[in-house]
Amino acid sequence: MRRILQRLAVMGVLCFISFLVYSAHLYLFWPWYGRELSIELLVLLVPLNVSVTLLFYNYFLCVATEPGTVPQGWKPDSYSQSDGYEGTTLAWTHRYCQVCHCYKPPRAHHCRHCNRCVLRMDHHCPWINNCVGYFNYGHFIRFLFWVDVTCSYHLAVISKRSLELAMQGVLWNESSQDELIVLVLHFLACVLVLSIVGGISFYQFLNLFGNVTAIERWEKVNVAIMVRQGLIQEVKFPYNLGKLRNIKAILGQSFLLCCLPQPMSGNGLQFELAAHADEREVWPPREHDLPRSVSGPSPSSSIHGDERLDPSLVPPGIRRRQTGDLGAQNEGVDDCSDIESVPSEPPSGYPSSRVRRSLENDEVRPQTREEMLRQYMAEIGNDPYRNARS
């Protein structure tokens, strides 16, 4: 039943757009110009139909394009040279999804609707029956842009026509009542679409300029609150490259072609970092995934090797609150990097040493992250800072 409703949502969007476009052609534009093809009519209709075509095509791409999933068997390459791209953090800083049983690349999140981890997940959109992720985010931005352009153009045309009829004194004539009804319906529809989609577009364009997803924006808010409360030090968002480079990263390198459909470059597994970012750090900060009461050192916490709480020792109430912070704000996102997502045993090939602190605090002295780092790097005989920026 749910799958049927999802498909009906897509069909509803297509029917609504088609109604606005073709009813305007049949009952407004064609009668206005005496039901004859003319240069004036072409000047009016060509721009409208071009924008409608791009609108439909980008909507199709939003629906049909896979947002990107984690490749089977993918593991973080902890020690490869990255040339300014994220991917060099140590294994215990990477997030693990217990639902998909895989490591999650930077900026990936688990979607409970799609039941998979999505690369650079922004949100799950029921109107396209798909997640908005790495490979279809550009199509989604272009779709919103062309919806705004098409509705604005259509609203300007019918407003101009209504003004002409009013100035001619025939707006309320009996012969023009049918046309008036169609004008009012189209006017209300355009205003409604621009009010809703325009607000979404404004929010998404702000995210585009900052190279931030909807989930990451909420993470930034939560991190800022933790900084103000003195729980963590100030952390800068590492993916903001500047407005120009942020736009090019999503819409392509050419501004002349940025509004036209084009595939996304890259693989969604590595992302270029800002100049101020440290390749050894991760986003969001590790403390962001811990309950506020245990985000700092606490004798009553039990920490795994990746410095996240053991889910078996977390009270259900805390677990629900932790997973509900972003879930309530980003419906469909079930980020398995939170408390419930840490594997009880790390996969083979990664450090198996871990630190535990019992509820009575009578276990061995806990190691700091720096001590763990030195111990691990001594075992493999490498310099822990060889990938640091010069």
Which residue numbers are catalytic? 125
Maximum distance among all alpha carbons in the chain?
A: 91
For residue 75, the SS3 value is coil
Of 110, 120, 118, 117, which is closest to residue 86 (Cα–Cα)?
120
- Token pair 């688990």 is at which residue? 110
Q: How far apart are CA 301 and CA 293, in angstroms?
A: 10
Q: How far, CA to CA in Å, does 82 sit from each of 6, 115, 120, 311, 388?
A: 40, 30, 19, 33, 10
Helix, strand, coil shares of the chain, percent, nearest 5, are: 50, 5, 45
- Find the helix packing angle between 243-251 and 137-168, rounded to 10°: 100
Q: How far apart are CA 387 and CA 84, in angstroms?
A: 9
Q: How far apart are CA 388 and CA 390, in angstroms?
A: 6
Of 106, 75, 117, 105, which is closest to residue 334 (Cα–Cα)?
117
Residue 247 structure tokens: 């736009």
- Token pair 């998909």 is at which residue? 100
Q: How far apart are CA 133 and CA 298, in angstroms?
A: 37
Written as one letter, the residue type at 270 is Q
Q: How far apart are CA 277 and CA 286, in angstroms?
A: 16
Give the list of residues 6+ apart from residue 106 with CB closer than 8 angstroms, or none: 86, 87, 269, 270, 271, 282, 283
Radius of gyration of the chain (CA): 26
